[in-house]
Amino acid sequence: MSEDPLHLENQVCFALVTAARNVVSIYRPVLEPLGLTHPQYLVMLALWERSPRSLGELAAELAMEPATLSPLIKRLEAQGRVTRGRRPGDERVLEIALTDEGTALRTQALDVPTQIMARVGMDVAQLTALRDGLAPFAGRR
The verdict on residue 61 lying in a domain is yes
Is there a domain that residue 47 lies in? yes
Query: 49 lies in a domain?
Result: yes
pLDDT digits (tens, 9 = 90+) for 74-129: 999 999 999 999 988 888 888 999 999 999 999 999 999 999 999 999 999 999 99
Count of domains observed in the chain: 1
What residues make up the domain containing 46? 37-108
CATH of residue 56: 1.10.10.10
pLDDT score recorded for residue 141: 46
**What confidence score (pLDDT) does residue 1 get?**
62
Q: Kindly list the strands in the beta sheet with 82-87, ordered across the sheet, starting from the edge strand earlier in the chain.
A: 53-54, 90-98, 82-87
49-72: per-residue pLDDT in tens? 999 999 999 999 999 999 999 999
Whether 135 is covered by a domain: the verdict is no
Residue type for position 140: R
Q: Does residue 132 form part of some domain?
A: no
